[in-house]
Amino acid sequence: MKKFKNISTKTILLLGGLVIGLTGCSDDDDTSVNDGEVTSQFLKMDLNQFKKEDAGVFMQAFYWDVEPIGDWYNVINEKIEDYAAAGVNRIWLPAPGKGASGSFSMGYDPMDYFDVGEFSQRGDENVETRFGSREELESLIEKSHANGIGVIADIVMGHNSGGGLQDNPLRPGDTEVFSLFNEANGNASGKFNRSYEHFHPNDIHANDEQALFFEKTDLCHDQPYVQDWLWKRDDSVAEFYKSLGFDGWRFDYVKSFAPKWVTEWNNKVGGFSVGENFDGNQDVLKDWVDASGSPAFDFACFYRLDETLDRAQDLTALGDADNMLRKLDPDMAVTFVANHDTEKDENEDNRISYAKKLLAYSYILTHDGYPTIFYLDYEAFRDQLKTLIEIYNTLAVGDVEVIEASKDEYIMKRSGSGDNPGLILYMNISGQTKTRTVKTNWANRTLVDYTDNSRATPTTDGEGNALLQAPAGGYAIWSVTK
């Protein structure tokens, strides 16, 4: 994750304002749409009347190498009221169990699933995880629930780290593996002790035909003992996390185990779930959600946004049919613009640039799918994202119709439902203001941009046609006035 060592949050906020605030002059400009210069704020409808029954967005409430170490649960605890007021209905926390890296672990090197910050491991006097103590975790979950926010645990069940060294006789010529987990070897809780037979290869098979993440300590989910301790027992990992108050699960790197194990986990303990199938192929994602019955992060959508906004700088592909999970199965698509992996320092060429972040958020927060907000993005673009979240939770309803998808422009219409008028998103990545006549769903109505990126107040004719605009390098979201 970028640490922003030489750039302050204030600077990032100013950058965010510039990204959406620039309005250039060009032959595409049409000043007639600004006739009257009416302040659009006074024309807006009260969007609360359109709040959806299932309103809410997902918040990834951490980034890679969060600081301060040992206090992260308290940091997020202080933000819960703001998240709730903004329209967040779930937060995703990092894997809560103790990792092999101790107080430096981000949870992706799981060692003791049952140590959520209350045991000393391998002589380490510090009992807390990188994120805090069990008491602080439970306090955060309790406060989240009091504010109507569900809490999702990161589940890393494909591989383990930090066990004691032992021989695995089923590994010819390479028998030594760190696969012994007991009270003296990284499992101070004494629950779910493991040995080499619980990893690959074992007496059932050499591997489970899935991609191996850490080949020597790849957990074998076909072993009944592993199934029992992960989700089947009344005191399993799943039931323990549920007892802490977790409401659902984010399954890490699901390529390393069969989708049926996600199905079994969910059937046993219930709750919301989402899988991290790190793949930009929408068909791969669709096959996985069909097999697991769980939603998945829409990496195909992420890569299309990265491609169109940054690498190609051409929005045409956003109009292609069926090139994202949200287009194939919107109810199973969890969309996102950034996460802890895409924002790591080494991923400079595998991320959406900060200059294009709000354009990407304008896309996922107006289309179907369940959008995710990344912690650092919210810190950088708080006001703009609050506006987009409000729009998503109210006006972003009805069928999606792409009106224009060309090099510089993307225009999409949501049809609305009942009294809800829906919206029109107009994205523009050129260096000048763009205008285009668009056929809307609204006849003889005055329109306004609910993001305030344009102050124009165009009027539709009797057939619903209106001259809309989008600022240079920015977006506008149009709907009717009150």
Other CB atoms within 10 Å distance of the CB of residue 327: 21
pLDDT in tens, 429-443: 999 999 999 999 999
Residue-level pLDDT at 39:
61
Strands (E), 14-158: 57-60, 88-93, 98-99, 110-112, 150-155
Measured over the CA atoms of residue 30, residue 31, residue 35 and residue 38, the dihedral's sign is: positive
Ligand-binding site membership of 408 (annotated):
yes
Residue-level pLDDT at 21:
37
Q: Which residues are tagged catalytic?
A: 252, 276
Q: Alpha-carbon distance 212 to 262, whole Å?
A: 17
Measured over the CA atoms of residue 66, residue 72, residue 77 and residue 78, the dihedral's sign is: negative
Q: Alpha-carbon distance 171 to 169, whole Å?
A: 5
Structure tokens at 401: 């119709």
Ligand-binding site membership of 228 (annotated):
yes
Q: Which domains does the chain have, with CATH numbers?
A: 9-22+53-397 (3.20.20.80)
Residue-level pLDDT at 53:
92
Ligand-binding site membership of 154 (annotated):
no
Say if CB 115 and CB 97 are below 8 A apart.
Answer: yes
**Could you give phi then psi for residue 124, rounded to 5 degrees?**
-75, 120
Which residues, other chains included, contact 312 with Cβ-Cβ below 8 Å and sequence gap of 6+?
A: none
Q: Alpha-carbon distance 95 to 111, whole Å?
A: 11
Residue-level pLDDT at 303:
97
Residues of the chain under the 50 pLDDT cut:
1-27, 29-37
Q: Cα 294 to chain center, whole Å?
A: 15
